[in-house]
Amino acid sequence: MRIASFAIGLAAVALVATPARADLQLCNRASYVVEAAIGIEDKGSAATRGWFRLDPGQCRPVMQGKVEAERVYVHARAMPVYGASPAAQAGHADLCIAEGTFLIAGARHCTKPEQRLVRFTEVKPTESEQGLTASLTEEADYTPEQARLAGIQRLLVLGGYDANPIDGIEGKKTETALAQFLKDRGLPNDAARAPAFFDILMHSVKQGDGIGFAWCNETAHTVMAAFGIEDKGAVITRGWYRIDAGKCLKPDVSGKPRKLYSFAEAVDANGQVIKRADKPLAWGGATTLCTRNVKFELSDHKDCAATGLTATGFAAIDLAGRPGATVRFRE
- The residue among 66 and 152 whose pLDDT is bigger is 152
| Burial environment of residue 293 by CB neighbours within 10 A (0 to 12, 13 to 18, 19 or more) | exposed
Range from 24-28, 47-51, 83-87, 98-102 carrying the lowest mean pLDDT: 83-87
Sheet with 34-42: strands ordered across:
93-97, 116-123, 71-78, 34-42, 45-54, 102-105
CB distance 193 to 57 below 8 Å: no
How far apart are alpha carbons 191 and 181 in whole angstroms?
Answer: 11
DSSP, collapsed to helix, strand or coil, labels residue 63 as strand
pLDDT digits (tens, 9 = 90+) for 86-143: 555 567 889 999 999 999 999 999 999 999 999 998 877 655 555 688 888 888 889 9
Is the Cβ–Cβ distance between 212 and 169 less than 8 Å? no
- Residue 150 to residue 163: CA distance in whole angstroms: 9
Q: What is the pTM of this model?
A: 0.62
| Beta partners for residue 310, in sequence order | 291
Cross-strand partners of 75:
37
Inter-residue contact 72 to 39 (CB < 8 Å): yes
Predicted confidence (pLDDT) at residue 11 exceeds the cutoff of 60: no
